[in-house]
Amino acid sequence: MVEPGQREIVRILIVDDEPAMHDSYRRSFAVPGDGAATALDAMAQDLFGTDAAPAAAAPRFALTHVEQGSDAVGAVAASLASEEPFAVVFLDIRMPPGIDGRETAARIRSLDPEINIVIVTGYSDHAPLAIARDAGPVDKLFYIAKPFDAVEIVHTATALGERWRVDRALAAARADLARQVALLEDRTAELAANESRALHMAMHDSLTDAPNRLAFLRALGDRARQPGLFAIAMFDLDRFKLVNDTLGHLAGDRLIQLVYATLHETAPEGALVARLGGDEFGILFDTAGEAAAVIACERVIAACGISFDVFGHSVKGGSSAGLKLATEDGPRDPVDLLRRADLALNDAKRAGRGQVRVFDEEMDENVRFRRRVEGGLGEAIARGELSLVYQPIVARDTMAIAGFEALLRWETADYGRLSPTIFIPVAEESNLIHELGDWVLAEALAELKAWPDQYVSINFSPRQFRRQNFVGHVMEGVERAGVSPSRVQIEITESAIFADAERAAETLYRLRDLGFRIALDDFGTGYSSLYNIRTFALDCLKIDRSFIDGMGRERESAAIVHSIIHLGRALGLEVIGEGVETDAQAQALRIAGAAYLQGYYFSLPVPATHAREMALAGLIDPQGAAWEATGTVG
């Protein structure tokens, strides 16, 4: 890089068989003409456009003189070897007895594609087009007639020298950009590979490599959105505990592998066979009706009733099955379908094992319970039975409280305290979720005003997220409360955005544009993909507590947690580890690089008054906070 005011050295090669011409070149470059800078500026504008900057300082020329074409070729080769290439060559056409200028130009061009060749001749026996075919490209081939003017030679050398320098700088910049693009592509491929491995581990059972419960629920959700009749069958092994107790857990694991292979072979064509946990398996398949589904399950039970060879021991197999058919007009919620199949499986085991039971509404006392819950939920706000508790989210190193997650609690007169996992799905199935959501938003924002600078994190269900004018509704609540959107974190799950990804992406972009924080909750348990988190406007990922809980016991869970953290950091997203219950988990997440932590180890969810005290204190002592929270919440 030539600094302003410095004179750049331009290396020039002069090729002519007449000594007098070499003297003319020497005189031309030794005495610059009057008005050289002005003429140079004009030539630069002609070559590079009207935006070309004026020359800061005339260059210095280093001339190399040769009289024959073969010497010129050798000089170019030597300059390239010494990494001091020529910028311009002034070349005569007729140079007897050696090679002529046309062949010399062709050989020089083959050695150095970047050099600018100026043909200097007083003859017209070589057409420019013919020379260009051998020594092109045409934008690096120029012509000057003999006799030449000194100013013309100097200005040509100056302009072509500058062009040569700019071309080399541009080529270097392009090469550097290509290297950066290649590096980025490598890193993207590595991220994709890590994501693929992590997703496979998250969706598959480590013992059998069968799809696990998460994968089964995902496939069930996909199938439920399609028309047609299908069946969910749940199987578990009869007397499996006896195998573990008498032959050991390794034998039990081997039996699980053999049974899975049997299920896979005998399940209906196109069925998905998954290991749901322990000795429990699920099969998802299309069916013509209940009778056909029962026959298919009986065939699987019969296949599992053989004796298996387990490490030289003959183990008599056996299984029971619960069956639920999903009809066009019946419930098609994945979790509910699986729950009903499980109820049917329990009934099969109570009936004596080795048989199939089809789900019957009489089995489901929960249906009646849910109806009572729905009725009471509609009156909960008016009765003052709802409350919010707050769980702190702390920085991994400083233990500073960055924010609180608001959690809904319901203390009923009939059943006592009900878990949100019970009443939130009920509210989600009806319009009650909007009424509850409005109450939660207003209560949380009112409490937020009492905190110095922390944010509040509020969960929104899929149905709330798909609410008409959701963005305007949330913004109206923030403006009414008089708080900044930047202090509100909106927590959503992947299921909330996957159903209509395009609309969800627009909604999230508008929320981010208004200043809200966006957190993707329970990351790793749903439709996680690199495409999703790059497409949607997100601020942070919350690792699902199931992975953190399994970090100390399962290599796969630890690998998934590390992959999520590295993925989040690579994409500039904060990562929150939730469900932290032990010091070991906290330390492991710190080492892995999680930005924030949340869980019982730091504090149970606490009432608003206690959260206010913690927010004002700003920091948290894990042991003290957990002890106090236990006494406060009960």
Residue 270 sits in a domain of what CATH number? 3.30.70.270
Q: Is residue 418 part of a domain?
A: yes
Confidence of residue 422 (pLDDT cuts 50, 70, 90): confident
Higher pLDDT, 298 or 195: 298
Asked if 105 and 64 sit in the same domain, the reply is: yes
Q: Is residue 400 part of a domain?
A: yes
Summarize pLDDT for 231-268 with one digit per residue, the tens: 999 999 988 888 888 889 899 999 999 999 999 999 99
Query: Which distant-in-sequence residues (6+ apart) come within 8 Å of 605 by Cβ?
Result: 389, 390, 391, 405, 407, 629, 633
- pTM score: 0.49
Question: Domain range spanning residue 81?
Answer: 9-172
Predicted pLDDT at 50: 53
Asked if 554 and 508 sit in the same domain, the reply is: yes
Asked if 305 and 439 sit in the same domain, the reply is: no
Predicted pLDDT at 526: 54
The residue among 316, 332, 363 that closes a domain is 363
Asked if 396 and 358 sit in the same domain, the reply is: no
d(CA 346, CA 355): 11
d(CA 594, CA 615): 22
Residue 115 sits in a domain of what CATH number? 3.40.50.2300
Higher pLDDT, 554 or 26: 26
Contact between 272 and 211 under an 8 Å Cβ cutoff? The reply is: yes
Q: Is residue 260 part of a domain?
A: yes
Predicted pLDDT at 39: 53
Q: Is residue 151 part of a domain?
A: yes
pLDDT at 69 over 50: yes
Asked if 437 and 570 sit in the same domain, the reply is: yes
pLDDT at 282 over 60: yes
Q: Is residue 629 part of a domain?
A: yes
In DSSP terms, 489 is beta-bridged to 457, 517
Structural domains counted in the chain: 3
Q: Is residue 188 part of a domain?
A: no
Asked if 358 and 457 sit in the same domain, the reply is: no
In DSSP terms, 313 is beta-bridged to 310
Asked if 358 and 394 sit in the same domain, the reply is: no
Predicted pLDDT at 145: 86
Residue 420 sits in a domain of what CATH number? 3.20.20.450
d(CA 47, CA 164): 12
Asked if 355 and 390 sit in the same domain, the reply is: no
Asked if 155 and 231 sit in the same domain, the reply is: no
Q: Six-digit token pair at 103? A: 């062949």
Asked if 117 and 28 sit in the same domain, the reply is: yes
Asked if 222 and 346 sit in the same domain, the reply is: yes
Q: Is residue 178 part of a domain?
A: no
Smallest Cα–Cα separation from 86: which of 58, 109, 104? 109
Neighbours of 331 (CB within 10 A): 13
The backbone torsions φ and ψ at residue 292, rounded to the nearest 5 degrees and listed phi first, read -65, -40
Smallest Cα–Cα separation from 540: which of 516, 505, 506? 516
The residue among 363, 395, 429 that closes a domain is 363
Q: Is residue 374 part of a domain?
A: no
Summarize pLDDT for 611-631 with one digit per residue, the tens: 999 999 998 877 654 433 433
Asked if 449 and 569 sit in the same domain, the reply is: yes
The residue among 172, 200, 225 that closes a domain is 172
Smallest Cα–Cα separation from 543: which of 519, 564, 528? 564
* Cα Rg, the chain, nearest whole Å: 39
Predicted pLDDT at 494: 78
